[in-house]
């Protein structure tokens, strides 16, 4: 097959060898521990279920080929994939040709082909050591959490746990922070600019601690004259930042584009695969000679030679992996690409790379000091900056995590020593100290990198995992109104005024959950090494030593495992259960303790304890914006006022309550979420009716599908439309606020088609179904998704094989996977016969266990 010449290199490769183009590992460690602890920590690998067909086809291709070349990604994970392929395809890693390239372009691939090497087993061992160590930590600590905190969804990880610890520590730092106020003196003077036009400029004085002292300062300025004491002009320059690494790209995409870390990597992966940029997982700032020449040509052609300055940046990170390049465009001459999903990120990468090879921006800074005639010991300072030559600023200016209002400097008018300055007004404005900001996803990556924790390939998965596990959440926080004082001196009169500002508003910041805090405290107490930043960074250094051939991987694992395993056993045996309990005080009615703690369904408060013989404790869930660590007694007691009943509305009972997903108004059988800005305790019948009516308007049909109304709403997972009992997510490609009838028909039609193909058979009363999944058919039993084994011939089940299977046969399959599946049901009355939705009947073979292959890299 000859691919079309209009296709990209990647598209041609997929067209010519569809099975060979696989960007993921074909093998995984067993879903159980999968590591032979007693024999050198050798992992037991199996081919992933979803890759069995691919491996089979690769083996067929390998047999037909005269020679097999490996061209997986250039990092350690890519090297490990090459070794896995050697193992599965029966190739000798010591002789099989292995090539690497930083970009999917014709010159890069041709150059790689001219200098092949073999699989680097040191890199393979470094990657394997990481996987084995992380598997050991996860599989040994997670059961401890299940037993000591309860909850099978809990897990721990070497990198994820310290990432959560950073978020928790920052939150506690913010909670403990005591805001202090001071007064900033700002004077506004009149002058003339170079064109003799009347202008004003600002000068500042020293900060003053107290309101009384600020008032005294202004009093002394009444009737004063102001003269320029000195004018100093300093030349300066601004230097461009280095080209992007993985972490700096994630940070800048977050600041400038609002991208999450995972979205940045997803888009960058697509740009790389389509030949637009170099490999996107790197901690190097180095640019190749070809790239440097390419950038020089682009800059000189567009802006002239005076805008170019060749720079070769040095990687500060001592543990930077291998001889990688920074993330850059493959062709510097291309500033725009015909690729809508990736254009914004590509533009960022292109500008950053081009700017890194441009001249410094030349600035001139002017600093003027101003005397106050009535206060010789106090001076005012005015500063301004002008750009004399823009240099790299013509293309790019790096963003900031937190903008500082004091950083803004304007241009000063011409000033001379001894010049008298008319005062327009002077103010003393109350300002407040601020705690360190909460992390964004990107600034958390930056902190992990600074501490030497994790590597480019682990940042995005780590950030995703801590959120999936409900240890932290990315959220917005509404600001609060705060009063501040302003003293104004104008026309020799002083006026005091109270102003209001909004403070504390945050967007897309990382907040720890109560669960994250409790788990962090438990792990810090019982596994201090795992939670120690230096220890975690030291482990990364040891991986680097393995990659450099300076250390044996299983010896490194052994040194870690012996004391770690002993600590796991000790914790299982001796540690107390952890619920993050806080005694808030005493209930004035019952005299019992009021306790905040973590419960089965999340953070909660209770009055009394389970030890009380006469009465059971009362429970109440915390509100969305409340935390175990910060809730006080008064707030806790308020929660027990919920639920409460209001008057009936239109013949239906109205009640206000709080549940797992926050406060709600219940009207008849309908539950309506209370908006975030409304305190449920303040809701009366009038407010409740308002909330009900808003919901009715929101739930009003926006269209129909085959005569049946379609409504819309926004849930936990984003915007959706509802047709019958079917909830259909609305992708970003649609304008959710203005869905047309055509949009509705398209969305519902696609969903119905998908649902029709979803079920092979269903037994709704038994809560059992056989469904088509992404990786093939599976059994859904209640909330569980059960993976099917293999048929007697070793092949996977297809939909046709399962279309005629009886309910009893499916139950036997469930029992073979989960022997206790029907134990509770056995105590009840005999199961009724239920009708099934099925097609033609076919016999099925008993599931066959997957064979396990035990392998270890050759040394």
For residue 500, with 0-12 CB atoms within 10 Å meaning exposed, 13-18 middle and 19 or more buried, which class applies?
exposed
| Spatial separation of the C-alpha atoms in residues 242 and 312, rounded to whole Å | 9
User: In this structure, how many other beta carbons lie within 10 angstroms of the beta carbon of residue 230?
Assistant: 14
- Residue 622 CA to residue 682 CA, distance in Å, equals 16
Q: Other CB atoms closer than 10 Å to residue 12's CB: what's the count?
A: 17
- Distance between CA atoms of residues 762 and 759, nearest Å: 7
Indicate the DSSP class of residue 455: -
Active site residue 439: no
Looking at 668-734, which runs of residues are DSSP E strands? 670-673, 703-705, 708-715, 718-723, 726-729
Closest among 608, 578, 614 to 594, alpha carbons compared: 608
Segment holding 145, helix H or strand E? helix 121-149
Q: Give start and end residues of each alpha helix (H) in 708-853.
A: 741-758, 799-802, 807-817, 823-826
DSSP symbols for 400-413: -SS--GGG---PPP
Distance CA(538)–CA(541), nearest Å, equals 5
Neighbours of 853 (CB within 10 A): 12
State how beta strands 708-715 and 703-705 pair.
antiparallel
Nearest alpha carbon to residue 233 among 390, 386, 409, 391: 386
Task: Give the active site residue among 226, 259, 279, 723.
Answer: 279
Residues 6+ apart with CB under 8 A from 3: 11, 12, 15, 16
Which DSSP state fits 51?
A: G
- Closest CA relative to residue 155, chosen from 462, 556, 575: 462
CA dihedral defined by 352, 358, 359, 365, rounded to 10 degrees?
A: -20
Closest CA to 19 of 52, 43, 42, 46: 52
| Residue 253 host element (H or E) | helix 246-257
Phi, psi of 83, rounded to the nearest 5 degrees: -65, -40
Q: Whose CA is closest to 254, among 266, 263, 244?
A: 263
**Strand, coil or helix: 564:** helix
Q: Report d(CA 117, CA 529) in Å as an integer.
A: 39
Q: What is the DSSP string of 760-782?
A: EEEEGGGTEEEEEETTEEEEEET
Cα–Cα distance between 375 and 286 in angstroms, integer? 55
Phi then psi dihedrals of residue 69, to 5 deg: -110, 140
Q: CA 268 to CA 282: how far, in whole Å?
A: 12
759 beta partners:
771
Q: Mark 595-616 as b/e (b = at least 16 C-beta within 10 Å).
A: bbbbeeeebbbbbbeeeeeeee
User: Residue 657: is the preceding peptide bond cis (ω within 30°)?
Assistant: no
Query: Per DSSP, what are the bridge partners of residue 184?
Result: 429
Please, which residues bridge with residue 42 across strands?
36
**The pair of three-digit structure tokens given for residue 75, joined into one six-digit string:** 């990092």
For residues 81, 82, 84, 85, the Cα torsion angle rounded to the nearest 10 degrees is 120
Pairing of strands 776-781, 27-29: unpaired
Cα(253)–Cα(325) distance, integer angstroms: 19
Q: Kindly list the catalytic residues.
A: 279
């Amino acid at each position: 097959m000859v691919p079309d010449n209009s296709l990209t290199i990647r598209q041609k490769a997929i067209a010519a060898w569809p099975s060979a183009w696989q960007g993921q590992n074909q093998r995984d460690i067993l879903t159980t521990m999968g590591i032979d602890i007693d024999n050198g920590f050798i992992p037991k690998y199996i081919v992933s279920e979803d890759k069995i067909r691919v491996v089979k086809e690769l083996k067929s291709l390998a047999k037909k080929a005269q020679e097999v070349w490996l061209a997986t990604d250039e990092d350690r994970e890519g090297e490990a994939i090459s070794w896995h392929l050697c193992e599965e395809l029966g190739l000798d890693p010591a002789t099989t040709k292995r090539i690497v390239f930083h970009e999917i372009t014709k010159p890069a691939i041709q150059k790689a082909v001219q200098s092949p090497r073999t699989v680097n087993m040191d890199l393979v061992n470094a990657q394997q050591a990481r996987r084995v160590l992380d598997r050991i930590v996860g599989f040994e600590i997670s059961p401890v959490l299940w037993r000591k905190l309860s909850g099978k969804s809990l897990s721990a990880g070497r990198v994820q746990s310290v990432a959560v610890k950073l978020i928790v520590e920052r939150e506690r730092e913010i909670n403990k922070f005591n805001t202090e106020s001071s007064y900033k003196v700002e004077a506004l003077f009149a002058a003339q600019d170079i064109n003799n036009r009347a202008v004003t400029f600002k000068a500042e004085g020293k900060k003053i601690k107290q309101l009384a002292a600020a008032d005294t300062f202004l009093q002394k300025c009444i009737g004063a004259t102001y003269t320029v004491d000195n004018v100093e002009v300093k030349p300066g320059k601004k230097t461009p930042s280095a080209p992007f690494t993985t972490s700096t790209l994630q940070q800048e995409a977050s600041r400038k584009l609002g991208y999450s870390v995972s979205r940045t990597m997803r888009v960058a992966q697509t740009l790389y695969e389509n030949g637009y940029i170099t490999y996107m997982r790197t901690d190097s700032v180095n640019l190749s000679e070809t790239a440097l020449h390419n950038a020089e040509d682009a800059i000189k052609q567009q802006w002239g030679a005076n805008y170019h300055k060749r720079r070769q940046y040095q990687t500060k990170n001592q543990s930077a992996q291998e001889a990688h390049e920074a993330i850059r465009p493959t062709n510097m001459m291309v500033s725009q690409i015909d690729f809508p999903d990736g254009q914004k990120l590509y533009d960022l990468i292109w500008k950053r790379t081009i700017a890194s090879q441009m001249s410094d921006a030349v600035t001139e800074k002017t600093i003027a000091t101003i005397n106050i005639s009535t206060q010789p010991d106090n001076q005012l300072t005015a500063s301004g900056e002008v750009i004399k030559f823009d240099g790299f600023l013509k293309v790019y200016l790096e963003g900031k995590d937190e903008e500082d209002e004091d950083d803004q400097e304007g241009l000063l008018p011409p000033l001379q020593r001894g010049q008298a300055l008319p005062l327009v007004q002077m103010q003393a404005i109350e300002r407040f100290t601020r705690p360190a900001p909460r992390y964004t996803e990107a600034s958390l990556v930056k902190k992990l990198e600074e501490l030497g924790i994790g590597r480019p390939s682990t940042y995005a998965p780590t950030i995703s995992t801590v959120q999936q596990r409900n240890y932290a959440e990315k959220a917005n926080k509404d600001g609060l109104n705060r009063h501040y004082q302003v003293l104004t001196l104008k026309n020799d009169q002083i006026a005091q005024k109270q102003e209001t500002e909004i403070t504390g508003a945050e967007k897309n910041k990382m907040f720890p959950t109560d669960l994250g805090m409790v788990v962090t405290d438990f792990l810090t107490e019982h596994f201090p090494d795992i939670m120690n930043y230096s220890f975690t960074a030291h482990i990364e250094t040891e991986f680097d030593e393995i990659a450099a051939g300076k250390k044996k991987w299983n010896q490194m694992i052994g040194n870690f495992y012996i004391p770690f395993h002993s600590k796991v056993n000790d914790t299982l045996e001796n540690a107390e259960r952890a619920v993050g309990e806080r005694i808030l005080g005493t209930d004035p009615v019952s005299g019992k303790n009021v306790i905040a703690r973590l419960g089965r369904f999340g953070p909660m408060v209770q009055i009394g304890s389970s030890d009380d013989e006469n009465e059971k404790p009362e429970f109440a869930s915390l509100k969305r914006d409340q935390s175990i660590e910060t809730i006080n007694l008064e707030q806790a007691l308020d929660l027990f006022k919920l639920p409460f009943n209001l008057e009936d509305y239109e013949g239906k009972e109205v009640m206000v309550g709080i549940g797992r997903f926050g406060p709600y108004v219940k009207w008849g059988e309908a539950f309506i979420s209370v908006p975030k800005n409304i305190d449920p305790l303040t809701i009366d019948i009038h407010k409740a009716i308002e909330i009900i009516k808003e919901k009715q308007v929101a739930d009003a049909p926006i269209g129909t599908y085959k005569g049946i109304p379609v409504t819309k709403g926004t849930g936990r997972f984003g915007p959706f439309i509802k047709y019958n009992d079917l909830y259909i997510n609305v992708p970003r490609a649609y304008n959710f606020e203005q869905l047309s009838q055509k949009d509705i028909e398209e969305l519902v039609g696609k969903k119905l088609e998908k649902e029709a193909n979803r079920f092979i058979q269903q037994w709704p009363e038994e809560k059992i179904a056989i469904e088509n999944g992404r990786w093939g058919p599976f059994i859904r039993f209640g909330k569980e998704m059960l993976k099917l084994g293999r048929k007697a011939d070793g092949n996977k089940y297809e939909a046709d094989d399962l279309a005629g299977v009886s309910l009893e046969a499916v139950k036997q399959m469930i029992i073979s996977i989960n022997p206790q599946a029907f134990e509770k049901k056995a105590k009840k009355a005999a199961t009724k016969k239920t009708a099934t939705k099925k097609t033609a009947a076919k016999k099925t073979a008993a599931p066959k266990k997957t064979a396990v292959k035990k392998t270890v890299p050759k040394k």
